[in-house]
Structure 1
Amino acid sequence: MEAEARVNEREGIHDSFLQKILPYAELIAAAVSGILIIAGWLLGKNGLEAASVISYLFAFVIGGFAKAKEGIEATIEDKELNVEMLMVFAAIGSAIIGYWAEGAILIFIFAVSGALETYTMNKSHKEISSLMELQPEDALLITSGGDRKVRVSELVVGDAILVKPGERVPADGIIEKGESSIDQAAITGESIPVVKGLRDEVFAGTVNLTGAITVKVSKASNETLFHKIIQLVQSAQSEKSPSQLFIERFEGTYVKVVLAVVALMMVVPHFALGWGWQESFYRGMILLVVASPCALVASIMPATLSAISNGARHGILVKGGVHLENLSNLNAIAFDKTGTLTKGKPEVTEFIIGEGFSESDLLWKAASVENQSNHPLAKAIVAFAKTRFEKNMIQPDKMEDMPGWGIAAEIGGESWKIGKPGFIGEGAAQLGGELAERLAAEGNTLVYISIDGVPAGMLALKDVVREKTMAAIGELANEGVFTVMLTGDSQTTAKAIAAESGVDEYFAECLPEEKVDKLKGLMKRFNTVAMVGDGINDAPALATANVGIAMGEGTDVALETADIVLMKNDLPKIAEAIRLSRRMNRIIKQNVVFSILVIMVLIASNFLQVLDLPYGVIGHEGSTILVILNSLRLLRS
């Protein structure tokens, strides 16, 4: 048994070692190839030609294996020649004419550029692997017979689980017992922990820092927000941008043209310009090297993946390169109001007390009445009252809900009414006077209070604009983006919120289908238009827009429909995403122009017979490495 355990331990160590070095396999192969080239050069200098050629041959095989295998497999699968095959032909051609060192250097630099490209891919995939490592495998299920450990995949909606301090939350759910600070950095990017208690929602992958909490599972393991994030990142990495697709379509035709021109180069100059056969073949080999579009092909994908990775690290999840590319061309952006420009929940903005009434007593008893209701306005009044005093709410002696009007109640023999002015009575209109009129004009909902028929107070409530909304709209204006608000609210409310948030234009009283019509009109005016929303009613507009952007705390439908997701409801991230997109496109253009210029200069130099094979190799492969390194700049914050 001990011997078997030792064998298993050795196998485990071996597997662990392989997993660690596997991401660096191409880089290691390139390094070994470089060492063999140096060895071959030293052997050649000392007159050991046969050993020198063998060393170069090993450099060919070790350095070029990964790319050659990739090229051959892609050629068989797509039935189309590719850049990798051009490199194989160029290396073989160099060896045929006796330029073993140059061919080996070509393979070495090609291997280095391939390793850099793989590094970019791995860096991009790291977001998935690091996220998946945050997903707990087990959960502590609370049952009538006690707590027992189960696999997270076995949890079902409605299960109660215990999450101890220091543990990661294994599933999305609602806190049923306890209070704790939750580190949500993995989900929202927030660096400061959030205090959560009874009835608050927690997400899988977040960390419970302080107290033990009992959580009722609200979503299956494959439907959690955490799981959706992983799917979004995977989707982003597999979807290619229009530029990348164009380059890939162009690559096959270009390779065929290069091979045809190389064949002509080996024959035509001999008869037309009097070159020797060896010179013609030599120039043909150089053309094969320098005309390969390696740098051009590597101009886009590394830059796109780097930009997507950068965005994911900052809480901006992009579902593919096409959406990030579209973002740079954005001319206008439409916002839903509720939950996007505003917080989505009403808050008390003003409390007016009638003459002869006590502020604290009036608010305490009014909140006690509203505490019996689930209406959003009632919840806002209770929340406001709790910020003013710590007394427990009382139970009204009698209460009656009057739908569309308000609440009638009896407290200690007093008859209370809370609701619309028409429900309270004629005297309600006198409360607040001009202030009430101004509050109503600013989009506030006015709730009146009367005791025994006497107007006692008034509360103004409003879905307030987010703290960062004005800053976000200002940043978009600086980027030259026209801003529009689409809302189902009344003209009065829409006008007030539009003025407060700073948008350029607004459309009020819009049904979901009308939002789509307005969006289509904007697309005719501005060509490329984005839509930002968070609700189910925003999904049609999100799907219609050139770029759909969902708020991370929005509904599942909005998250699935949108092209870009802001993991934290942080509107300034939109301008950040636009800047990242424009930076990506700028780097791609730099790469494309640079790589085309290098190819043109090298081809012209070769035709003029001033370019030797070693310099052709360095110029061509060096340009490939440079464009990849240029793309990697996008990984920086």
Structure 2
Amino acid sequence: MSTPHLTSTQASSESETSTRAPGSSASKRRTATLSTAQLLAAFPGAVRKLDPRQMWRNPVMFIVEVGAALTTVLGIAEPFLGGPETSGGTDVPPTFTLGIAFWLWLTVIFANLAESVAEGRGKAQADSLRKTRSDTETHRLTAYDPSGDPAAENAAVEALSSADLRLGDVVVVVAGELIPGDGDIVWGIASVDESAITGESAPVVRESGGERSAVTGGTRVLSDRIVVQITSKPGETFVDRMIALVEGATRQKTPNEMALNILLASLSIVFLVVTLTINPIADYSAAAVSVPVLVALLVCLIPTTIGALLSAIGIAGMDRLVQRNVLAMSGRAVEAAGDVTTLLLDKTGTITYGNRRATEFTPLSSGVSQADLVRAAALASLSDPTPEGKSIVDLAGENGFVHTGTLAGDVVPFTAQTRMSGVDLTDITTDGAPLIRKGAGSAVTAWVEETTSVPDPVRAALATQVERISTLGGTPLVVAAGSAGGPRTILGVIYLKDIVKEGIAERFAELRAMGIRTIMVTGDNPLTAKTIAAEAGVDDFLAEATPEEKLTLIRKEQEGGNLVAMTGDGTNDAPALAQADVGVAMNTGTSAAKEAGNMVDLDSDPTKLIDIVRIGKQLLITRGALTTFSIANDIAKYFAIIPAMFAGVFPGLAALNVMQLHSPASAILSAIIFNAIIIVVLIPLALRGVNYRPVSASQILGRNLLIYGLGGVIAPFMGIKIVDLVVSLIPGF
């Protein structure tokens, strides 16, 4: 049986696509700067968010909104009630209350603006994605027989709208047509344009029966003819989920975010109680404080800065992943990436370049000629679509092997369980050896020993060659031949040369500095794995790994208190992806893998897992830094408001007026104005994230306390003083 396989050109194109810089399209590289256009576009959304039914979800800003509404009512009523009240023994200007109300409303709007800007950064991509959901005509097979040829020209099909497709339907898609829905290719191979999803213009190859069988609705088939089985329900496609997530419509608060919200709400309630008790106590000194001043005090006491920016920080973290062509299925996954302590990394394609090439054929006994080994290795690799398989055929050609016509036989594909592949020939004319296998030494040896014992000299020669190649960092591929019930023989070994990626050791050193342990997972034998692991600088390795062993390793790490991240693309990776705290599925992989993971890499670049961890840590650091700044800058506001509240009754409090503010009224208004403006100033930082360097947690904490703790104390002193100089120019202040 002839099986379709990649040409060398297609394989090269696929490799280049997977290693290209993620999100290289200009439209996908949105900057983190905050432009006037962005603010104007987000402003209507910020106003709509003033709805109390939305605001109550943010307790801190809800309190500010209630205070703004209360002072607005008082400001409107004051002219009819004889003007504003004195506060703390001092007079206030007629416009004081309305000024407080105005800036409180701006504080709430600026908080909403931060969230609207963060959400708006995904709308452009969402709009482009919607264009891929066009209602197109497709052709559904009325009867699907997996053992037949479902793409035959005379196959019974019916035309219908893509919106009418249901889970499990099987459709035929030819060159030039859009794929009508998410699914897996069950027959054929084709070149597919996925630029609408990934932003990459280069087409990719998708084929049945492998780990590159998944296709996405809305992408276009450029060549050939494929049969796709639909794996998603209407409205639940990959594109639908992407649209909802990039717009923030389905973003759920993460556990840490909810915990911080509870803390902020608790602090706000405590400060509310403190504020409400001030007047009963002050009445004994005839120093009653007006309601607008009490509201101003409360707003300056509660952590409004982080309360305003908390949601924007979470949305921006997911947006930074989208910019790198990674789709996080939830904010929880992004946050978990920041807490990861163990990384499971596949060797091929992540640590090494992945395109291992055959460089040498070595027979193991005098009874096996070089030509016999070359022929067997080539026949076992003719239908192997991997770069390794192609390189074996190429090397065999250089050694004189010539094959014409089609391969008569059944191809035995490689699986993670058998760890070998080959062919069962039906037309054999030499040596009576219709079965050929190539694969890991232990797997092939076990296959031979099913019918024949391996002679000691061959076993010793095999061990010598495996150790030699493994010591060199290569991969030994053992070739054997035989019959179903008759004798089988180990013919020789193929040397596959593997190259560790440049700079990967430095990246692992950075991860180690971050407190992250790296484990290389490979199907190679322990000696090869040890050599590659030492060269790459990983902390540990798992050799001859099966899907079950991956799952066991993840559970063992989690039982030890570690959070685990890993990548995968095959159906056999699905259990491990589901078990991992951060499971990154490749977009080129199967639907099962993408459903099991909580992130999908649209570029299918396994090395991006390291960048995902960095983004997760940046999210956590940004949240911590701005929380520190928010609490620290309240200190300066106390020095502005507390002396102003009671300066008329307790002159000694003037000593606390270290900023030498113009008047009590200007001090209070300046603190409220600064409180609002600082939110807008910090929006770009919330969107961009705090600059992250791979250092230990204690160093990060020290840096945050120095920059955002000390800076959070100093900046408001300077800011409030500058605002006060401007406010003092207003008549009456």
User: What is the TM-score with the length of structure 1 in the denominator?
Assistant: 0.70
Matched, 1:264 2:264: no
Aligned pairs for 1:560-575 within 5 A? 560-575=595-610
Match of 2:263 in 1: 250
Match of 1:460 in 2: 494
Match of 1:216 in 2: 227
Provide the C-alpha distance between the structure 2 equivalents of 1:563 and 1:24, rounded to a whole number of angstroms: 34
Q: 2:469 aligns with which of 439, 444, 447?
A: 439
The 8 Å contact of residues 486 and 510 in structure 1, kept in 2 or not, is answered as yes
Match of 1:58 in 2: none
Alpha-carbon distance, 1:619 to partner: 1.4
Match of 2:301 in 1: 291
Match of 1:322 in 2: 332
Q: 2:252 aligns with which of 215, 233, 239?
A: 239
Provide the C-alpha distance between the structure 1 equivalents of 2:386 and 2:259, rounded to a whole number of angstroms: 57
Secondary structure of the residue aligned to 2:230 is coil
Aligned pairs for 1:14-93 within 5 A? 27-28=43-44, 66=48, 68=50, 70-71=51-52, 82-93=63-74
Secondary structure of the residue aligned to 1:104 is helix
Secondary structure of the residue aligned to 1:298 is helix
Match of 1:392 in 2: 404
Matched, 1:608 2:643: yes
The 8 Å contact of residues 529 and 546 in structure 1, kept in 2 or not, is answered as yes
Q: 1:302 aligns with which of 312, 328, 331?
A: 312
Change (3 A) 1:132 1:116: same
Provide the C-alpha distance between the structure 2 equivalents of 1:122 and 1:504, rounded to a whole number of angstroms: 41
Matched to 1:384, the amino acid is I
Aligned pairs for 1:4-23 within 5 A? none
Provide the C-alpha distance between the structure 1 equivalents of 2:433 and 2:205, rounded to a whole number of angstroms: 35
Q: % of aligned pairs identical?
A: 22
The 8 Å contact of residues 119 and 246 in structure 2, kept in 1 or not, is answered as no
Change (3 A) 1:152 1:202: farther
Match of 1:312 in 2: 322
Aligned pairs for 1:96-135 within 5 A? 96=78, 97=84, 98-99=94-95, 100-124=98-122, 127-135=125-133
The 8 Å contact of residues 269 and 280 in structure 1, kept in 2 or not, is answered as no
Deviation string for 1:491-537 (max 9, x for gaps)?
Answer: 45644554465421124566766655544554566744434444555
Change (3 A) 1:605 1:352: same
The 8 Å contact of residues 198 and 603 in structure 2, kept in 1 or not, is answered as yes
Comparing 433-442 with 299-308, greater Cα deviation is found at 433-442
Matched, 1:626 2:677: no
- Paired positions, count: 571
The 8 Å contact of residues 511 and 517 in structure 2, kept in 1 or not, is answered as yes
Q: Which structure 2 residue ranges, 5 or more long, are not aligned?
A: 1-36, 79-83, 85-93, 142-153, 438-443, 645-663, 693-733
Aligned pairs for 1:183-202 within 5 A? 183-187=193-197, 190=200, 192-195=202-205, 201=213
Alpha-carbon distance, 1:324 to partner: 2.5
Provide the C-alpha distance between the structure 1 equivalents of 2:410 and 2:552, rounded to a whole number of angstroms: 49
Match of 2:620 in 1: 585
Provide the C-alpha distance between the structure 1 equivalents of 2:624 and 2:74, rounded to a whole number of angstroms: 32
Change (3 A) 1:514 1:175: closer
Match of 2:539 in 1: 504
The 8 Å contact of residues 586 and 603 in structure 2, kept in 1 or not, is answered as yes
Provide the C-alpha distance between the structure 2 equivalents of 1:146 and 1:173, rounded to a whole number of angstroms: 18
Secondary structure of the residue aligned to 2:538 is coil
Provide the C-alpha distance between the structure 1 equivalents of 2:412 and 2:525, rounded to a whole number of angstroms: 29
Alpha-carbon distance, 1:321 to partner: 3.1
Alpha-carbon distance, 1:556 to partner: 4.2
The 8 Å contact of residues 236 and 320 in structure 1, kept in 2 or not, is answered as no
Alpha-carbon distance, 1:400 to partner: 13
Provide the C-alpha distance between the structure 2 equivalents of 1:481 and 1:192, rounded to a whole number of angstroms: 35
Aligned pairs for 1:553-564 within 5 A? 553-564=588-599
Deviation string for 1:109-146 (max 9, x for gaps)?
Answer: 53244233222123246555543432332133277688
Provide the C-alpha distance between the structure 1 equivalents of 2:461 and 2:334, rounded to a whole number of angstroms: 53
Match of 1:12 in 2: none
The 8 Å contact of residues 188 and 315 in structure 1, kept in 2 or not, is answered as yes
Deviation string for 1:590-617 (max 9, x for gaps)?
Answer: 3222222333322331110145343133
Matched to 2:683, the amino acid is I
Change (3 A) 1:475 1:193: farther
Provide the C-alpha distance between the structure 2 equivalents of 1:627 and 1:337, rounded to a whole number of angstroms: 41
Provide the C-alpha distance between the structure 2 equivalents of 1:245 and 1:469, rounded to a whole number of angstroms: 38
The 8 Å contact of residues 136 and 168 in structure 1, kept in 2 or not, is answered as no
Change (3 A) 1:337 1:81: same
Matched to 2:119, the amino acid is M
Provide the C-alpha distance between the structure 2 equivalents of 1:432 and 1:77, rounded to a whole number of angstroms: 68
Secondary structure of the residue aligned to 1:582 is helix
The 8 Å contact of residues 331 and 481 in structure 1, kept in 2 or not, is answered as yes
The 8 Å contact of residues 500 and 535 in structure 2, kept in 1 or not, is answered as no
Change (3 A) 1:202 1:463: farther
Alpha-carbon distance, 1:460 to partner: 1.9
User: What is the TM-score with the length of structure 2 in the denominator?
Assistant: 0.62
Deviation string for 1:271-321 (max 9, x for gaps)?
Answer: 33x43x5x5445324314433543221232101111111102212233333
The 8 Å contact of residues 189 and 314 in structure 1, kept in 2 or not, is answered as no
Matched to 2:263, the amino acid is F
Q: Which structure has the highest helix share of the two?
A: 1
The 8 Å contact of residues 445 and 462 in structure 1, kept in 2 or not, is answered as yes
Change (3 A) 1:187 1:438: farther
Q: What is the CA RMSD across the aligned residues, in angstroms?
A: 5.2
Matched to 2:604, the amino acid is N
Deviation string for 1:564-611 (max 9, x for gaps)?
Answer: 333333233122122222322332223222222333322331110145
Alpha-carbon distance, 1:160 to partner: 3.7
The 8 Å contact of residues 337 and 487 in structure 1, kept in 2 or not, is answered as yes
Alpha-carbon distance, 1:480 to partner: 4.3
Match of 1:172 in 2: 183
The 8 Å contact of residues 168 and 207 in structure 1, kept in 2 or not, is answered as yes
Change (3 A) 1:198 1:635: farther
Alpha-carbon distance, 1:393 to partner: 3.6
Aligned pairs for 1:370-389 within 5 A? 381=389, 384-385=392-393
Secondary structure of the residue aligned to 2:314 is helix
The 8 Å contact of residues 409 and 415 in structure 1, kept in 2 or not, is answered as no
Matched to 1:27, the amino acid is F
Deviation string for 1:199-244 (max 9, x for gaps)?
Answer: 7746224644754x32211223437655565577689952213342
Alpha-carbon distance, 1:246 to partner: 2.4
The 8 Å contact of residues 622 and 686 in structure 2, kept in 1 or not, is answered as yes
The 8 Å contact of residues 598 and 623 in structure 1, kept in 2 or not, is answered as no
Provide the C-alpha distance between the structure 1 equivalents of 2:462 and 2:58, rounded to a whole number of angstroms: 77
Change (3 A) 1:351 1:91: farther
Secondary structure of the residue aligned to 2:226 is strand
If asked which structure has higher relative contact order (CA below 8 Å, sep 6+), I would say 2
The 8 Å contact of residues 188 and 226 in structure 2, kept in 1 or not, is answered as yes
Q: Which structure 1 residue ranges, 5 or more long, are not aligned?
A: 1-20, 31-62
Provide the C-alpha distance between the structure 2 equivalents of 1:378 and 1:102, rounded to a whole number of angstroms: 69
Change (3 A) 1:249 1:358: same
Q: 1:203 aligns with which of 189, 211, 215?
A: 215
Match of 2:360 in 1: 350
Matched to 2:225, the amino acid is T
Change (3 A) 1:548 1:205: closer
